[in-house]
Structure 1
């Protein structure tokens, strides 16, 4: 089986209009199992004080269920696609949505899943969706905002166990990733396209004068900026 990264489809990806912040699930086929994803954020100036921005918030949570034939993003493996770059730098979901639509047309994805953004550093949003054995993997992303190109999410997360049974519940601690597309070092750094070429997505580690983050979490307490709770309903 050949795995298709979205970079290989670059010539087919079209930039659509401005991404919506409303909850939505787009699917041509009703699934045989239903899930709820709850995105809870705990990013605050007490636990993460270094240069904590006054306008901390989160972009819409966006992604899809899909099969093993497509990889939308992966750390230490591939550079960010145009969709991941746009999401991580600006919070816009439209370019990433175009990548999802391309995968859907190829039969690799069921379509977009999108929950509303969170207007503060700490908050909660959720979305329900259905899927089937055809699309047992989950990919979701949300921008840490403001930031140069930092985000949280899951990539190709299996919704089935090794026996092929659907998981009942799972909680994911969310690490912060650096998309590798901007050279900024603080949350409010001005836009500055990366001076290096083809940098892979990686866990964020920064100087202590810039942020409290190392390997995606607080450098000393080990606290995370949020969680994803996945429940079969």
Structure 2
């Protein structure tokens, strides 16, 4: 066989093997399927009580849970940064009016998608509602005032509900941790108003347990996130 034809034959074999290898790689790594919107049931299971934390006040309750599904730039608050007027009013008074307006502004800008707003609940107690997310807004943030308190609240902070494969998680439990809004310096649940001037920043709050020497007690509750559609 002439040498030129022999070389052409080798190139054809190598090209065929490369094509097969490329096809095999394509078959092994199919594109991730696109995801549609998801509907979640959000349950706040408040467990804060005299059995869990010291200095449990009379009439203990949580204000109406409020929050939104959002993008990474649609946060309601950031730990280490000053509270917005909406977060301040929610944390000090359980008043969601300004925060509701702030969420509407995030929706108008495209940073937030849907809003959730529940009802006041005693603690211990449970409240549930639903909220929709989509691929562009897969994060969820929720807040509720610890009442009575100077400016303390619990939150679900920027929880992403897409898993490592980019699919919606079926079920997740997240501890409801406490925060100080940094706007009132009252040291106890029932302390009179003591405006913090200048205002500080939102920061994690340590609430001592009923017994033991640990600086922080257990979570004040649990956020249960269940995909229902």
Equivalent of residue 78 in structure 2, options 74, 78, 89: 74
Question: Contact conserved, 2:63 with 2:144, CA < 8 A, in 1?
Answer: yes
Moved over 3 A (4+): 218-222
Instruction: Please give the TM-score of this superposition, normalised by the length of structure 2.
Output: 0.78
| Shift in Å, 1:203 | 0.9
Structure 2 residue 39 is the aligned partner of structure 1 residue 39: no
Picking from 196, 208, 220, the partner of 1:212 is 208
Counterpart position of 1:190: 192
Which of the numbers 208, 217, 227 marks the counterpart of 2:222? 227
Counterpart pick for 2:86 among 53, 69, 83: 83
Kept in 2, the 8 Å contact 1:62–1:141? The answer is yes
- Deviation of 1:220 (Å): 6.0
Q: What is the distance in 1 between the residues matched to 2:135 and 2:165? A: 12
Alignment of 1:1-233 (within 5 A): 32-50=37-55, 52-76=56-80, 78-118=81-121, 120-197=122-199, 199-205=200-206, 212=208, 219=214, 222-233=217-228
Which digits, 9 at most, give the CA deviation of each residue in 1:70-123, with x for residues without a partner? 2221212x11000000000000111100000011111111132111120x2200
> C-alpha displacement at 1:155, in angstroms?
2.1
TM-score normalised by structure 1 residue count: 0.77
Q: Decide which moves more: 89-98 or 40-49.
A: 40-49
Root-mean-square deviation over aligned CA pairs: 1.7
Q: Per the alignment, in what secondary structure is the counterpart of residue 177 of structure 2? A: coil
Q: Which moved more, 1:156-165 or 1:91-100?
A: 156-165
Q: CA deviation at 1:221?
A: 7.7
Please say which of residues 37-46 and 141-150 is displaced more in the overlay.
Answer: 37-46
| Structure in which a larger fraction of residues adopt helix | 2
Deviates more, 1:33-42 or 1:63-72: 63-72
Contact 1:101–1:111 (CA under 8 A) maintained in structure 2: no
* Structure 1: runs of 5+ lacking an equivalent: 1-30, 206-210
Query: Unaligned 5+ residue runs, structure 2?
Result: 1-35
